[in-house]
């Protein structure tokens, strides 16, 4: 157990809908990163939040947005869902931005299916 919890575990949506995924980081961690993992692929970095501010973003369109709250939990919002958004969405927490060798602790992910 990593202490990182994600909800929901599974979700089914239709094209055009909006979705919100949630992540509770490990106690004491101030950084949360979100990743998209398509079937058979490695995780792709979406963005990172450090102390409630976005601290880096991968190659994802603006319809992928996020928030980090004062307790360092986080949300990932995806608007106007497309079929290709179907994937496992992973959240990872760390103490620090990962620029050194901080260990990333991953949640079990949210499996999103877009029909």
Partner 1 sequence: KNQVEQSPQSLIILEGKNCTLQCNYTVSPFSNLRWYKQDTGRGPVSLTIMTFSENTKSNGRYTATLDADTKQSSLHITASQLSDSASYICVVSGTGGSYIPTFGRGTSLIVHP
Residues that bind partner 1 (CB under 8 A): 2, 4, 35, 40-45, 48, 56, 58, 88, 90, 92, 97-101, 103-109, 111
Q: Nearest distance from residue 45's CB to partner 1, in Å?
A: 5
Q: Nearest distance from residue 42's CB to partner 1, in Å?
A: 4
- Considering beta carbons, is residue 81 or 91 the nearer one to partner 1? 91
* 3-class secondary-structure state, position 35: strand
- Considering beta carbons, is residue 3 or 16 the nearer one to partner 1? 3
Q: What is the Cα–Cα distance from 114 to 38, expressed in whole angstroms?
A: 12
Buried b (16+ CB within 10 A) or exposed e, 21-48: bbbbbbeebbbbbbbbeeeeeebeebbb
Q: Nearest distance from residue 86's CB to partner 1, in Å?
A: 14
**16 burial via Cβ count (<10 Å: 0-12, 13-18, 19+):** exposed
Q: Nearest distance from residue 16's CB to partner 1, in Å?
A: 27
- Considering beta carbons, is residue 71 or 100 the nearer one to partner 1? 100
* 3-class secondary-structure state, position 56: strand
- Considering beta carbons, is residue 40 or 70 the nearer one to partner 1? 40
């Amino acid at each position: 157990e990593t202490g990182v919890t994600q909800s929901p575990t599974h979700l089914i949506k239709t094209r055009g809908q909006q979705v919100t995924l949630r992540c509770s980081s490990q106690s004491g961690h101030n950084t949360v990163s979100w990743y998209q993992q398509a079937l058979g692929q490695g995780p792709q970095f979406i963005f990172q939040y450090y102390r409630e501010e976005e601290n880096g973003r991968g190659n994802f369109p603006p319809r992928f947005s996020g928030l980090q709250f004062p307790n360092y939990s986080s949300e990932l919002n995806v608007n106007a869902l497309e079929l290709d958004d179907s994937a496992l969405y992973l959240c990872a927490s760390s103490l620090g931005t990962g620029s050194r060798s901080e260990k990333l602790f991953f949640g079990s992910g949210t499996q999103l299916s877009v029909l």
